[in-house]
Chains A and B, each alone.
Chain A
């Protein structure tokens, strides 16, 4: 990584597309430098040889935690399934027939 290439506007354009973020030209100018600075900070890790060290993804190495196979109320709300459903749906920006509604996934709305 000592020879790390600086991030380009194209790199940031690509990563923004993956992250579902729209960036303006001004955004791109600003973020390209700022993101590159973060990866410069990360390059300081090169002073440590950790090739033989295993990675840690969780501080105490938990593996699996099982609970009894008896479903509790889904979001901790007392009441009927319908009450629970209505509370969850109440947060939805667009709801129809007890379902969340979105624009077409394929093609475009007319």
Chain B
């Protein structure tokens, strides 16, 4: 995007802490890039210019007074617009929340501020995080910085694009079925979905509460680990938060994968009996296999592994997530906040408000969920999906007795053109590789690894058992280094 290389989060924090640069300089530089380039990309709904300048001034004052502003001193962070920011609009890309300004900060926003980070703006998403391309935003899609004729993925497409475009070195997304990892893959950045409960969701607008998890986007694995260590840890305001203290992951970076046992998941690898599975692009499958080779070369023991229930993830997810969404989104009724359309009585006012406020995909999922939970169908659809979820957890746990980590492509395809997946079911298949980790609650990361069709970025996913973020980051770093080496080698070949 930009001619000048933007500094990393670690570089910014180090320079701000030592006084080599100021937070206000950093913020102005990023605001200038956003002003010149975001008209095309549309990563942001709101650029919080004044709030960012004021926060930066606070960081600079702390440094001048000899205090340490924290590990993310002066680092601009873009926040997905479904996380509450006090005094800054939070729309969820929905007309129903178009003018809503939250009276409080999400815990993740508080933690970032306490670490010295600067909230620079709020990013676009598919409405209420329901989608895989940001095309479901009520306020227009985000364009992929790598190729603006294509989608950035979703639902956290604005946050992925913001980092890919250099608008901020870090951003936050939420991942219910792949909404951090898939856009990270499509935009060529790192996206982490931590263990369910490791990062507080207080102040995250709920979509599917048993699946939602917040995590960071960054251009490098080390920055992701830096951000994760700031975000993670128990929170009394989130009753699903894991009560044990967070084990920092930064100290284990660089330990490599020597001796780690890593399994390639047959059902999610895109290889069906030697052939490329339907919906998978051959270049994507080949890159995941090259990633396995790179891990082997680095000393890991890599083997194929079968998890039969993994193929059921998509079907189970599209019952469970809409069921929970239909309940969570019942709160948008035009009474206490958000859009109101009048009617002669309360029920008609609520229906008129919801009809005018929600977009197509949100209405579809509310209706699917309402039907799946209704008497007579509950056991056949929702209950069955919950049992499949147990089966998946059991099968994954069993596999993790023999393997430390698992591997698959992140998305079956690279970034696709706008409008290419207008059919909802076709769009849902984008999440086939990412959904299992949401159903099991396990952590998973997407790391850029080479390119596929039209030279577009490919992401490889590393999955681990509960709280295995340390091992995941170690493997991710090995892949990052291998990808850089391979890219360098092919650039040299091209030059000769």
Contact = CB atoms under 8 A, between A and B. Distances in A.
Nearest to A62: B240
A56 B424 contact: no
Given A55-B387, A60-B196, A18 B368 contact: no
A39 B381 contact: yes
Contacts of B347: 20, 105
Contact of B371 (A35, A54, A67): A35
A108 B346 CA distance: 9
A100 B348 CA distance: 17
A34 interface: yes
A103 B343 contact: yes
Most-contacted residue by chain A among B318, B334, B393 (CB, 10 A)? B334
A77 B318 contact: no
B128 to A, nearest CB: 14
A90 B384 CA distance: 43
Interface in A42-60: 42-45, 47-48, 50-51, 53-60
Contact of B393 (A39, A47, A56): A56
Interface string A58-102: 111010010100000001110000001001101111100000101
Interface in B220-246: 236-237, 239-240, 242-243
Contacts of A48: 309, 312, 388, 391
Most-contacted residue by chain A among B315, B326, B338, B355 (CB, 10 A)? B315
B381 A42 contact: yes
Interface residues of A, number: 57
B294 interface: no
B135 interface: no
Contact of A91 (B101, B345, B350, B466): B101
B352 interface: yes
Contacts of B388: 45, 48, 50, 53
B337 A20 contact: no
Contact of A50 (B210, B318, B355, B390): B390
Contacts of B315: 41-45
Given A44-B315, A75-B104, A93-B334, A57 B210 contact: yes
A50 B385 CA distance: 9
B374 interface: yes
Contacts of B389: 55-56
A15 B318 CA distance: 17
Contacts of B386: 55-57
Contacts of A76: 104-105, 237
Contacts of A41: 314-315, 318, 425, 428
A58 B104 contact: no
A25 B283 CA distance: 44
Contacts of A7: 371
A67 B235 CA distance: 11
Interface string B298-342: 000000000001001011101100100010000001111111101
Nearest to B342: A103
B318 A103 contact: no
A53 B381 contact: no
Interface size class of B (residues with CB under 8 A): 35 or more
A43 B319 CA distance: 10
Contacts of A53: 387-388, 390-391, 394
B363 interface: yes
B380 interface: yes
Contact of B338 (A22, A44, A93, A104): A93
Nearest to B390: A56
B253 interface: no
Interface in B92-128: 100-101, 103-105
Contacts of A103: 342-346, 348-349
A35 B367 contact: yes
A82 B315 CA distance: 48
A20 B354 contact: yes
B366 A21 contact: yes
Given A42-B319, A56-B393, A18 B374 contact: yes
B370 interface: yes
Given A21-B366, A35-B371, A91-B103, A104 B318 contact: no
Contacts of B318: 38, 41-42
B424 A15 contact: no
A105 B345 contact: yes
B194 interface: no
Contacts of B348: 103
B441 interface: yes
B398 interface: no
B440 interface: yes
19 contacts: A15-B374, A19-B367, A22-B351, A39-B371, A42-B315, A53-B394, A58-B210, A59-B210, A62-B239, A65-B239, A65-B240, A75-B103, A87-B103, A90-B103, A91-B336, A92-B336, A103-B348, A105-B346, A109-B344
Given A42-B372, A45-B385, 6 more contacts: A42-B315, A50-B388, A54-B387, A67-B236, A92-B337, A103-B344
